[in-house]
Amino acid sequence: MLHHLIPFYDHNVEKWSFEARLLRWLTFLWLLVGLMILFSASYPVAIHNTGDGWYVFKRQFIWICLALIGSKLIYRTSIRRILQFSPYIYGVILALVLATILGFGQEVNGAERWLSLGPVQIQPSELLKPFMILQGAYVFGTWDRKTWWFKGAWLLIFGLSLLAILLQPNLSTTALCGMTFWLIALAAGVPIIQLLGVAILGMLGAVVSVSSNSYQMRRITSFRNPWADAGDSGYQLVQSLLAVGSGQIWGLGFGMSQQKLFYLPFQDTDFIFAVFAEEFGFVGAIALLLFLGVYATIALVVVLKSSHPINKLIALGVMTILIGQSLINVGVAIGALPTTGVPFPMLSYGGSSVISSILLAALLIRVAIEVEPESEIISSYNQELSPEN
Is the per-residue pLDDT at 384 higher than 80? no
For 29, 38, 78, 264, 269, the CA distances from 56, given in Å and listed in that order, are: 19, 8, 34, 17, 11
Residue 366 included in any domain: yes
- State the Cα–Cα distance between residues 188 and 185, nearest whole angstrom: 5
Is the per-residue pLDDT at 166 higher than 70? yes
User: How many CB atoms are located within 10 Å of the residue 154 CB?
Assistant: 18
Is the per-residue pLDDT at 10 higher than 80? no
Residue 251 included in any domain: yes
Residue 262 included in any domain: yes
Q: What is the pLDDT of residue 110?
A: 62
The answer to whether residues 184 and 198 touch, using CB atoms and an 8 Å cutoff, is no
Mean pLDDT rounded to a whole number for the chain: 89
Q: What is the pLDDT of residue 120?
A: 83
What is the average pLDDT across 295-313?
96
Residue 44 included in any domain: no
Annotate 82-97 with b (16+ C-beta within 10 A) or e (fewer).
bbeebeebbeebbebb
Is the per-residue pLDDT at 37 higher than 70? yes
Residue 156, exposed/middle/buried by CB under 10 A (0-12, 13-18, 19+)? Answer: exposed
- State the Cα–Cα distance between residues 287 and 278, nearest whole angstrom: 14
What is the average pLDDT across 237-258?
96
Q: What is the pLDDT of residue 198?
A: 87
pTM of this prediction? 0.91
Name the phi and psi angles at 169, rounded to 5.
Answer: -95, 150
- Higher-confidence position of 296 and 219: 296
For 147, the enclosing helix (H) or strand (E) is none
Residue 283 included in any domain: yes
Residue 9 included in any domain: no
Is the per-residue pLDDT at 238 higher than 80? yes
Q: What is the pLDDT of residue 13?
A: 75
Q: What is the pLDDT of residue 382?
A: 54
Number of domains in the chain: 1
In terms of residue numbers, what domain contains 339? Answer: 53-374
Residue 41 included in any domain: no
Tell me the pLDDT band of 3, cut-offs 50, 70 and 90. Answer: very low
What is the average pLDDT across 33-42?
98
Q: What is the pLDDT of residue 111?
A: 67
Instruction: Give Cα 22 to chain centroid, integer Å.
Output: 20
Residue 210 included in any domain: yes
Q: Which amino acid is at 387?
A: P
- State the Cα–Cα distance between residues 88 and 84, nearest whole angstrom: 8
Tell me the pLDDT band of 2, cut-offs 50, 70 and 90. Answer: very low
